[in-house]
Amino acid sequence: MKYRVFILCSGLGRINRGFESFSDECFRALSQFPTLDVHLFQGGGKREKHRRIVWNMHRNSFIAKLIGKFAMRDSYFVEQVSFGISILPVIILNRPHVIYLSDATLANFLWHAKRLLKFKAKIILSNGAPFSPPYPHHDVLQQVVPFEFEIGRNSDSASDNQVLLPYGFNFTSPPCPTSKEQLRNQLKLPGDRILLLSVGAINNTHKRMGYLIEELASLNTPRPYLIILGQRDAESDSLEQIAIDRLGAEHFEFRTVPHSHVQMYYEASDIFVLPSLTEGFGRSIVEAMGSGISVLCHDAPHTRYILGEFGIYGDFTKSGILMDLLLTTISSRAFANRSSEQVLQARQRFSWETLAQEYEKFLIHSAEVSCQA
């Protein structure tokens, strides 16, 4: 029997975040299995075989912002609800066994629609945000790190219907040219500076890019050149002005690039920093780990789980800690030689080659339960 799986992501095709890159990679990885009939439904981009575009009010559109203002919700909420309304007829007509998604509002909407319309698809919510108990509505909750799994075990809302399964990754080599100098030239990055990279939404509320800027500004000149890759949001302009004031406009860049280009930046850089304190998983940490680059991050259960002995940890709730780590890393030249063992560990633990069959088994089990309902 072939089980029909719908992967839903309202931001894919328009937004560059972890949810979107994971949904795309998951679709590609699972489409290889003859046991699964996998379809990807996204909010933008191009339609391809088994990849469909679903009408929605994009979160950055005027109408989504206007409706959100009157409804006292953010425009992201409007995007997900409008996406959910559009996908409902497709679900009813095609009767998937599994609906797999990462967005909380969309999960809640479909769960209530399921109760009303009596469709049988199992709603699997991947907890990459992370969401804390009480969780959004779901039939099965996928936890991606042990720390969140333990929280779920002690919660009434997920203790009996959660699984632990980390994110999968498509580790790829950068296209030619492959030397660091050639890559920097191709990407129009300075060739004579230590390059400090951070990847994540360009904001201060969650990703704490302001902390990174302030800590870097505390170093004596010449400082590393800062490149932040990520989706811009309402906080980005003010952060950019802070960076201009603290670092100087010629010493940093904010860029938004397709996820397929991000690997080249890891290869071209010397040091990676993730300044956030909490992550559902931290996809950029694994991507950085898989490139062999030195990784500096907050000392937390999720970063320890991912990086183990290969992380450079500090308490990023305190000022001066990241500055000290940067000084130590730069002065020791620890970044000069990339760790092949670090690369190997990342690929052995988190590559789709390692995890795809586990995902297949997970989805088949959920689909079989759906068939029995």
Residue with tokens 């000149």: 221
Please tell me the predicted confidence (pLDDT) of residue 158.
59
Considering the chain, what is the average pLDDT of its residues?
93
Cα separation, 90 vs 84, in Å, equals 10
**Angle value at C-alpha 294, between 290 and 298, nearest 5 degrees:** 100
Cα separation, 258 vs 198, in Å, equals 15
In the chain, the amino acid numbered 129 is: A
Percentage of residues in the chain with pLDDT exceeding 90?
A: 83
Enter the tokens of residue 321.
């800690």
Out of 111-125, 154-168, 214-228, least confident range: 154-168
Q: What is the pLDDT confidence band of residue 371, given thresholds at 50, 70 and 90?
A: low
Greatest Cα-to-Cα distance within the chain, rounded to the nearest angstrom: 66
CA distances (Å), 369 to each of 69, 161, 335, in order? 40, 12, 49
Q: Express each pLDDT in 27-58 by its tens digit.
A: 999 999 999 999 999 999 999 999 999 999 99
Q: Contact at 8 Å (CB) between 276 and 207?
A: yes
Q: What is the pLDDT confidence band of residue 208, given thresholds at 50, 70 and 90?
A: very high
Mean pLDDT over 250-256 rounds to: 97
Q: What is the pLDDT confidence band of residue 129, given thresholds at 50, 70 and 90?
A: confident
Count of other CB atoms within 10 angstroms of residue 82: 23
Please tell me the predicted confidence (pLDDT) of residue 154.
86
Mean pLDDT over 357-372 rounds to: 88
Please tell me the predicted confidence (pLDDT) of residue 298.
98
Tally helices (H) and strands (E) across the chain: 14, 13
Please tell me the predicted confidence (pLDDT) of residue 326.
96
Count of other CB atoms within 10 angstroms of residue 217: 19
Q: Contact at 8 Å (CB) between 215 and 326?
A: yes
Please tell me the predicted confidence (pLDDT) of residue 176.
53
Count of other CB atoms within 10 angstroms of residue 277: 17
Enter the tokens of residue 90.
């497709």
Closest alpha carbon to 255 in 211, 200, 297, 206: 200
Put simply, whether the predicted model's pTM sits higher than 0.85 gets the answer yes
Q: Express each pLDDT in 284-327 by its tens digit.
A: 999 999 999 999 999 999 999 999 999 999 999 999 999 999 99
Enter the tokens of residue 285.
């940490």
In the chain, the amino acid numbered 97 is: H
Mean pLDDT over 98-116 rounds to: 96
- List beta partners, residue 198: 228
Domains by residue range for the chain, with CATH: 3-170+351-372 (3.40.50.2000), 180-349 (3.40.50.2000)
Q: Is the pLDDT assigned to residue 174 strictly greater than 70? A: no
Count of other CB atoms within 10 angstroms of residue 173: 10
Please tell me the predicted confidence (pLDDT) of residue 369.
76
Enter the tokens of residue 291.
């490139």
